[in-house]
Amino acid sequence: MAQVSNADIASAFEQIADLMEILGKDPFRVNSYRKVARVVGDCPADVGAMAQAGQATDLPGVGAGSAKKIVQFVTTGKIEVLDELLAKVPPKLPELLEVAGLGPKTIAKLWKQADVVDKDSLAQAIGDGRLLSIEGIGPKKVQQLRKALEFAAQAGGRLRLDEATEYAARLVAVVAAIDGAESPTAAGSLRRGRETVGDIDILCTTAGRGRAAKIIQAFVQTKQLEIDKVIGAGQTKASIVLAGGVQVDLRVVQGGSFGAALQYFTGSKAHNVRLREIAVNKGLKLNEYGLFEGDRQLAGRTEDEIYQALALTPVEPELREDHGEIDAAGQGRLPQLVAIDDIRGDLHMHTTASDGLESIETMVAACRARGYAYMAVADHSKSQVQANGLDAARLAKHHKAIAAAASGIRVYFSCEVDIFKDGSLDFDDDVLATLDMVIAAPHSALSQKRHDATARIIRAIENPLVKVIAHPSGRLINVRAGMELGIEEIAAAAAANDVALEINAYPLRLDLRDTHVHAVVEAGAKLIINTDAHTVGHLDYMHYGVLTARRGWAKAADVVNTYPAAKFEKWMQR
Ligand SMILES: [Zn+2]
Ligand SMILES: [Zn+2]
């Protein structure tokens, strides 16, 4: 039997939905497949196993038909309906879905009206002007597709959170410098703190009437940015492509609609659909201009007043994924999320003793400068040969050096000890016992399947000397998927053994990921947010970890490095 991950199931259902839409099938059914894809993709439990146990229909939106398809997929590696749909379209047509700006409906038109059947024929059709004969496709759209096709060919097409954050900071500064532009803000999935970001949405307001178009013009003509292409520049909206292929949309909105626009363009789509339903049920209309009763605007200046007018507690952007936050907001039981100011220490960083770039002294001074009460130096263990991992003798010497460098801040002596394939560790217990804090982490055999990976991590958790599991899945964003984990079992083991599961804040990792964090919080297990810094600058990655924690509904009490020094010490000693 093939092992099928939740991600595999989700993408199969997403593909069914796309193909049905291309073939012009009932939109209601298309949406129900999309819902299944989303629910399965976000589910912490092994949905394949659930389906085989007859429990998949417990998941919201998963009916008997979908459950049957999941069982079919798990047992045979195929879904009959999907194969039938695939047989009805040209074999490489689905790859066009990877091109930004191309949805199933447009693909259907390209295929039927211009014989576009894959990326190559799309490039050809763009070149020979054939696309312009299609209804609804003008020169602007063709230009946009040309650009998107190039971008899709280059990268996966999505920026990491840190890359997007840097772009957004620059864009916000550029807009802020334009005469008349006020309150420039990044919206979209970046504002929700998602681990990757497609394009960047910036909003601003303006007080003066008629100024919007001037702001748009100033933006597309700025010399502060390397603009590769201006896709559009209208009265209130500009779309540009920066060198490197990142698309940016700037919208200038009236102050009275700023909150509504920010809410609308922050998304997620699923969250906004739910919000609009609530408005409709109250006889109101919600859009990017405000909340309306007939023509009268009831709210729109701030996001908070929109939520409040819908009888909801305002929802933090990181929670807006339709993962239960709307019900919680209606019942006044949204969590008080952990914030960057709650963090009192960073417990995973490297020095020149292994593969870090700075001395112990430099890292200690940098943590002190950040106002932390405590920190831990955790260089690699001996199996990490390429990272200059420490053997027992070097580790003992390192311990003395750390003790000598500690001043003005509590410095714990730690080590990032490899977890082998079978869950055993890189050092014997007598060496581990010399450490203040054992951080265990998987670095090899990361293609292990869910069952083995879960057993591996749980065995490490059950070692009484282990206090933290670092980057538990070993994934690297846009590089490798890492191990699929049975996060609920792992969280239960962590709770039972008082071991903290790390949210590695290094933006290439963000591991645990958001949905894992949610499962850990639900299980009552503890989290720890660490940067895994290899330089002083990396210590500033902490906020990416905090964003990920917030996306997983974590409160300060769920995160051990928010504890005051004495409480943290007590937790360490337990
Ligand atoms: Zn590591
Ligand atoms: Zn590390």
Q: To 10 degrees, the CA torsion angle through 188, 247, 136, 87?
A: -80
Report the separation in Å between the CA atom of 535 and the middle of ligand 2, taken as the mean of its atom positions.
12
Give the N- to C-terminal CA distance of the chain in Å, as an integer.
43
Ligand nearest to the CA of 384: 1
Q: Could you tell me what percent of the chain has a pLDDT over 70?
A: 98
At residue 124, the pLDDT reads 87
Ligand nearest to the CA of 351: 2
Ligand nearest to the CA of 419: 1
Ligand nearest to the CA of 348: 2
Reduced to 3 DSSP states, what percent helix, strand and coil does the chain have, rounded to the nearest 5? 50, 15, 35
- Amino acid identity for residue 218 in this structure: A
CB 402 within 8 A of CB 438: no
Looking from the CA of 31 toward its CB, the CA atoms found within 13 Å total: 6
Report the separation in Å between the CA atom of 348 and the middle of ligand 1, taken as the mean of its atom positions.
9
Question: CA 192 to CA 548: how far, in whole Å?
Answer: 9
Report the separation in Å between the CA atom of 355 and the middle of ligand 2, taken as the mean of its atom positions.
9
Domain layout of the chain by residue ranges = 6-154, 156-334, 340-573
Cα 288 off chain centre by: 24
Measured in degrees and rounded to the nearest 5, phi and psi for residue 511 equal -140, 110
Ligand nearest to the CA of 533: 2
Question: How many CB atoms sit inside 10 A of residue 237's CB?
Answer: 14
Report the separation in Å between the CA atom of 193 and the middle of ligand 2, taken as the mean of its atom positions.
23
Helix and strand totals (H; E) in the chain: 23, 17
Question: CA 429 to CA 545: how far, in whole Å?
Answer: 30
CB 42 within 8 A of CB 95: no
CB 96 within 8 A of CB 73: no
DSSP 57-117: GGSTT--HHHHHHHHHHHHHS--HHHHHHHHTS-TTGGGGGGSTT--HHHHHHHHHHH---
Rounded to two decimals, the pTM is 0.81
CB 200 within 8 A of CB 114: no
Report the separation in Å between the CA atom of 482 and the middle of ligand 2, taken as the mean of its atom positions.
16
At residue 132, the pLDDT reads 87
Ligand nearest to the CA of 350: 2
Measured in degrees and rounded to the nearest 5, phi and psi for residue 556 equal -55, -40
Q: Does the fold of domain 340-573 match that of domain 156-334?
A: no
Report the separation in Å between the CA atom of 379 and the middle of ligand 2, taken as the mean of its atom positions.
7
CATH of domain 340-573: 3.20.20.140
Question: CA 319 to CA 266: how far, in whole Å?
Answer: 11
CB 417 within 8 A of CB 441: yes
Question: CA 334 to CA 19: how far, in whole Å?
Answer: 38
Summarised one tens digit per residue, pLDDT across range 529-550 is: 999 999 999 999 999 999 999 9
Measured in degrees and rounded to the nearest 5, phi and psi for residue 541 equal -70, -10
Tracing tokens 């191990």 back to the chain, one arrives at: 483
At residue 186, the pLDDT reads 98
Question: How many CB atoms sit inside 10 A of residue 404's CB?
Answer: 10
CATH of domain 156-334: 3.30.460.10
Report the separation in Å between the CA atom of 183 and the middle of ligand 1, taken as the mean of its atom positions.
39
- Amino acid identity for residue 126 in this structure: I
Beta strands per DSSP E along 126-177: 159-160
CB 178 within 8 A of CB 157: no
The DSSP letter of residue 11 is H
Ligand nearest to the CA of 509: 1
At residue 151, the pLDDT reads 63
Report the separation in Å between the CA atom of 10 and the middle of ligand 1, taken as the mean of its atom positions.
29
Report the separation in Å between the CA atom of 503 and the middle of ligand 1, taken as the mean of its atom positions.
12
CB 147 within 8 A of CB 139: no
**416: helix, coil or strand?**
strand
At residue 250, the pLDDT reads 97
Question: CA 532 to CA 439: how far, in whole Å?
Answer: 11
Report the separation in Å between the CA atom of 470 and the middle of ligand 1, taken as the mean of its atom positions.
7
Question: CA 416 to CA 442: how far, in whole Å?
Answer: 10
Segments of the chain with pLDDT less than 50: 1-2
Report the separation in Å between the CA atom of 352 and the middle of ligand 2, taken as the mean of its atom positions.
12
Report the separation in Å between the CA atom of 430 and the middle of ligand 1, taken as the mean of its atom positions.
22
Q: Considering Cα of 174, then 176, then 182, then 183, what sign does the dihedral take?
A: positive
CB 306 within 8 A of CB 260: yes
Would strands 285-287 and 374-380 be described as parallel, antiparallel, or unpaired?
unpaired
Question: How many CB atoms sit inside 10 A of residue 143's CB?
Answer: 16
Angle in degrees, 0-180, between the axes of helices 6-22 and 64-76, rounded to the nearest 10: 120
**450: helix, coil or strand?**
helix
Bridge partners (DSSP) of residue 206 are 181, 254
Would strands 410-418 and 374-380 be described as parallel, antiparallel, or unpaired?
parallel
Report the separation in Å between the CA atom of 438 and the middle of ligand 1, taken as the mean of its atom positions.
13
Ligand nearest to the CA of 377: 2
Pick the CATH number of 6-154 from 1.10.150.110, 3.40.50.1010, 2.60.120.560, 1.20.20.10: 1.10.150.110
Report the separation in Å between the CA atom of 417 and the middle of ligand 1, taken as the mean of its atom positions.
9
Is the bond preceding residue 268 a cis peptide, omega within 30 degrees? Answer: yes
